Amino acid sequence: MDAEGRYRLTLTLGDRQVMHGWWREEAAARKQIPVWVRDWGIEGAVITLTDTATGTVIHRWPDET
């Protein structure tokens, strides 16, 4: 786990990471996803929630289909 918290939310535009945030609780991090989508969900943006303890991507916006 990272010192900042286990759950990391990342905003990527193109190939560049432009913002990230850390939370100790998954529920708190998940609550931020719709806020980030509302504020930063532009064409080309990718918002990813990762469990840094396992390296697992928990959520990705837009959804991979």
Q: How far apart are CA 39 and CA 32, in angstroms?
A: 10
Pick the closest to residue 21 from 56, 30, 13, 65 (CA basis): 30
**Residue ranges of the chain whose pLDDT lies below 70:** 1-3, 64-65
- Which H or E element spans position 30? helix 26-40
pLDDT at residue 63, as a whole number: 86
pLDDT of residue 65: 47
pTM for the predicted model, two decimal places: 0.87
Q: What is the pLDDT of residue 4?
A: 72
Neighbours of 15 (CB within 10 A): 5
